[in-house]
Each structure stands twice: as C-alpha cells, then as structure tokens.
C-alpha cells in the first residue's frame, strides 16, 4: 500500500524527491502518512479535496483486496 501511494503522489507533484511515505501498522488498520513539499500540498489535495479523496478510494480498494483497512493521512 505504501508503494502505491508513493507512486501516485510522485506522479502528481513537482518535487517527487521530497515525497515521503510512512506506514504505521496496527492489528487491523494501517495508517499511511504522506508528506510532500509545501508547494505541492495543493496538488495532492486538489480542488475541494477531490484528488485526496480519489487517492483514499484507490487505497481502500487495494486494501480491501488484501482484507485489511488502510487510512491515508496527508501531513503538512
């Protein structure tokens, strides 16, 4: 899941080298934290949060396939 979010985020931003993704795993849920450059924050969130919502939808579909729950947190 971590690699999936990193791939999508790097395709969206101007500074792909500053994309950092970390994963905190729990029993049933894993939290994926995405950190990008300050200039790219708007690109990752999108208008009215549409891009972030789309990334969360992709993540939930992929994690449902492996029978786990994943949550995406975008860190400023």
Q: What are phi and psi of 20, to 5 degrees?
A: -125, 130
**pLDDT at position 71 over 90:** yes
| Weakest-pLDDT range from 2-6, 25-29, 51-55 | 25-29
pLDDT reading at 10 higher than 90:
yes
Q: For residue 14, which phi and psi values (nearest 5 degrees)? A: -85, -30
Q: Is the pTM of this model over 0.75?
A: yes
Query: What strand order describes the sheet that includes 29-35?
Result: 20-25, 29-35, 69-75
Q: Which CATH class is domain 2-75?
A: alpha beta
The mean per-residue pLDDT over the stretch 7-31 comes to 93
């Amino acid at each position: 899941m971590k690699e999936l979010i990193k791939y999508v985020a790097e395709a969206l931003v101007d500074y792909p080298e500053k994309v950092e993704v970390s994963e905190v795993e729990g029993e049933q849920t894993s939290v994926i934290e995405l950190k990008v450059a300050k200039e790219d924050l708007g690109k990752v969130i999108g208008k009215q949060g549409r891009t972030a919502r789309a990334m969360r939808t992709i993540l939930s579909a992929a994690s449902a396939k492996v029978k786990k729950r994943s949550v995406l947190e975008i860190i400023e």
